[in-house]
């Protein structure tokens, strides 16, 4: 089966338009055959989000496997629920069928190892190579049975939040018409919160439609209209979450890391050595944590990379500005519902005031990203003019400015990102950098 790019896998699994390669029926059955070859005889846990294509993708995927596979199907479950289920030790591999925050027409496949972590680069390479050799085959497919992991995960969430007392605190919760829509309402109401649920009626086509973490304006309006203490907005597969304070101000994943790190540093029993962010994490987070003598490391974009750097450094907390937050003592991947429970615990009995105070405490740096079309991708590490510009900027501004240059993984574009204390300074730096890079590329073209 031909593969259009070097790898089937992108930043977070396989993703594309349902019905179009590699997510057409024939390709998915070949993928099932490829997974069968790579995994060998195993116990497999499979979950899905509520898109109308998810069950069809599951059926085609399992049809491509051999009867030697024992497959437990969860039905609709948040991605972190599947990850948690794998940690029980009953299964060797996991597959989540979801396109996360993408629209309903898209879908995707995330592959997990038996310990609940996302499949590593080597496994993805093996699956891609096997997929290239695979051909559709007629057969009975894998053996299936239904399991109760989704229910068990919901029960575990209640245990994790057992010390919380909502005590009439009002929340607006947007479940993005996604995988967490069934679990979220009762989870928070059972803990005593007054819950105004939004995006909790998935119909297969309304996932992420003007709702959820990719449409924060929806939760911002809802919080302002209702006067709620806090807004909570999940994405389609429930692995990330953003928050809104009582005034409608956005609380990003960086804010959440700052709050959780502060609480864990005070609680010596949780052994916080440091925090892992990404190359996109705000400079303000790094400086505030450093000022508090909390180590900070940056990983490439993607919670899979954040988790890897956390393991390598021995850190228990990490995440992305987009809302993937990992607390490894309980979960090896991002979990929007768990993050909400942890964040509510840090905010205490007056979350409205605490959330507003949190936004004031963290110095937020202005950030802007621009893209330049390039005909060829020069080595950024050996580009003399670019290196000189970065050195001059560092000498002039010190650690109050951060520059990031990286190529797009899917387009012929060079991304230029700058952070500084003011928007005017960011624009000025990017204007200079864009002119330098653009002129240099035009000269070489």
Residue 298: strand pairing partners: 277
Q: Is the dihedral of CA 243, 244, 250, 254 positive or negative?
A: negative
What distances in angstroms separate CA 397 from CA 76, 141, 390, 425, one per listed residue? Answer: 50, 61, 11, 10
Whether residue 106 contacts residue 99, with contact meaning beta carbons closer than 8 Å, is answered with yes
Active-site option among 54, 100, 170, 322: 100
Annotated catalytic residue 100 = yes
Whether residue 219 contacts residue 233, with contact meaning beta carbons closer than 8 Å, is answered with yes
| Residue of 216, 218, 226 lying closest to 246 (CA atoms) | 226
> What distance in Å separates the CA atoms of residue 220 and residue 317, rounded to the nearest whole number?
27
**What does the block give as tokens for 203?**
């119909």
Catalytic residue positions? 100
């Amino acid at each position: 089966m031909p593969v259009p790019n070097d790898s089937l896998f992108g930043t977070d699994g396989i993703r594309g338009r349902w019905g179009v390669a590699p997510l057409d029926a024939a390709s998915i059955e070949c993928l099932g055959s490829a997974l069968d070859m790579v995994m060998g005889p195993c116990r497999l846990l499979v979950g899905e989000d509520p898109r109308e294509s998810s069950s069809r993708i599951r059926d085609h995927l399992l049809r491509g496997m051999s009867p030697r596979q024992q497959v437990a199907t969860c039905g609709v479950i948040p991605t972190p629920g599947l990850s948690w289920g794998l940690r029980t030790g009953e299964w060797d591999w996991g597959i989540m069928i979801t396109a996360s925050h993408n629209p309903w027409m898209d879908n995707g496949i995330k592959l997990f190892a038996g310990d609940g972590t996302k499949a590593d680069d080597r496994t993805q390479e093996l699956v891609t190579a096997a997929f290239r050799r695979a051909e559709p085959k007629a057969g009975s497919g894998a053996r299936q049975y239904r399991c109760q992991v989704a229910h068990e995960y919901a029960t575990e969430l209640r245990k994790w939040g057992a010390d919380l007392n909502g005590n009439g605190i009002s929340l607006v919760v947007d479940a993005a018409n996604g995988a967490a829509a069934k679990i979220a309402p009762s989870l928070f109401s059972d803990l005593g919160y007054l819950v105004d649920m939004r995006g909790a009626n998935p119909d297969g086509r309304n996932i992420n439609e003007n709702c959820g973490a990719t449409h924060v304006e929806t939760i911002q309006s809802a919080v302002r209209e209702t006067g709620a203490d806090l807004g909570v907005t999940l994405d389609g597969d429930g692995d990330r979450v953003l928050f809104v304070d009582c005034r409608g101000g956005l609380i990003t994943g960086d804010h959440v890391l700052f709050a959780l790190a502060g609480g864990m540093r005070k609680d010596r029993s949780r052994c916080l050595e440091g925090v892992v962010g990404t190359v996109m994490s705000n400079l303000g987070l790094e400086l505030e944590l450093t000022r508090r003598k909390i180590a900070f490391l940056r990983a490439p974009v993607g919670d899979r990379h954040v988790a890897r750097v956390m393991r390598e450094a021995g850190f228990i907390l990490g995440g992305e500005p987009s809302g993937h937050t990992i607390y490894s003592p309980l979960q090896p991947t991002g979990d929007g519902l768990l993050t909400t429970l942890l964040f509510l615990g840090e905010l205490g009995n007056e979350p409205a005031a605490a959330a507003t105070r949190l936004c004031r405490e963290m110095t937020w740096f202005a950030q802007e990203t621009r893209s330049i079309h390039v005909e060829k991708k020069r080595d950024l590490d050996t580009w003399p003019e670019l290196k000189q510009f970065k050195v001059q900027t560092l000498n002039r501004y010190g650690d109050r400015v951060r520059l990031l240059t990286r190529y797009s993984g899917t387009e012929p574009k060079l991304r230029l990102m700058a952070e500084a204390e003011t928007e005017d300074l960011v624009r000025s730096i990017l204007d200079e950098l864009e002119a330098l890079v653009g002129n240099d590329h035009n000269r070489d073209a």
